[in-house]
Amino acid sequence: MLTIHSFLFNPFQENTYLLLNEKKECIIIDPGCYFENERNELVGFITTRGLQPRLLLNTHAHLDHIFGNYLVSQEWGLRPRLHRLELPVLERSPEAGNLYGTPFAPSPEPEAFLEEGKAILFGEDELEVILAPGHSPGSLCFYCPAQQFLIGGDVLFRESVGRADLPGGDYDTLVRSIETRLYVLDDAVTVYPGHGPATTIGHEKRHNPFVRG
């Protein structure tokens, strides 16, 4: 069984997630730690609890979700796993960092590419990979059917959706992804987004002004 712990990091107020299992192993998803105190917070949380990071996953490669990729690679020898369509975004991320006034150490090259429909096995637990483009070309969501939760990246927010005006984004594609990939999940599924508070599929189908179920 997985336990979810979240951190609020960087000037863009991004949600970083740790998935912990009963063996004190963890998956790091979208490490957005930018400032030194944020990097110390992430490292301190993991080390003081004796956790062993096993995987580094990126829902997508926008800079606020990968600020900490380099740190994770240095501390635990992990390289990111993400969708192949995100590789150009990852490679341009240092340029984006300079543009936004947030220069950062570039992410290491991906260890592997994730594919839609393939499961991520983590001990006795399993995450399904859902491709949901529109915010970014290869945006992924990680769905745990056994515990009915979704790590959603910047696809679906509480009563909002991810922006679609960045390079590689497309609003119609984003809406279609939400309708056909996420709203088909059970209403009780909890969505942990890349920004803002958690929500549920059912709440968004009823109340999201951008994409109604």
pLDDT in tens, 41-65: 999 999 999 999 999 999 999 999 9
**Measured on CA atoms in the order 9, 131, 182, 209, is the torsion positive or negative?**
positive
User: Which of 3.60.15.10, 3.40.630.10, 3.40.630.30, 3.30.9.10 is the CATH number of 3-207?
Assistant: 3.60.15.10
* DSSP line for the chain: --EEEEEEETTTTEEEEEEE-TTSEEEEE-----SHHHHHHHHHHHHHTT-EEEEEE-S---HHHHTTHHHHHHHH---EEEEGGGHHHHHHHHHHHHHTT---PPPPPPSEEE-TT-EEEETTEEEEEEE--SSSTT-EEEEETTTTEEEEETSEETTEE----STT--HHHHHHHIIIIITTS-TT-EEEESSS--EEHHHHHHH-SSS--
Mean pLDDT score, 179-191: 98
List the chain domain ranges: 3-207
Quick check: 213 pLDDT over 90? no
pLDDT in tens, 97-154: 999 999 999 999 999 999 998 999 999 999 999 999 999 999 999 999 999 999 999 9
Report the relative pairing of strands 190-193 and 160-161 from DSSP bridges: unpaired
pLDDT in tens, 17-31: 999 999 999 999 999
User: Considering the chain, what percentage of its residues have pLDDT values greater than 90?
Assistant: 98
Residue 5 region, left (φ>0) first, then alpha (ψ -120 to 50), else beta? beta
What global pTM score does this model have? 0.97
Cα 170 from Cα 39, distance rounded (Å) = 32
Mean pLDDT score, 68-89: 98
Q: Which residue has the tokens 């393939």?
A: 118
What's the token pair of residue 5? 């712990």
Quick check: 173 pLDDT over 90? yes
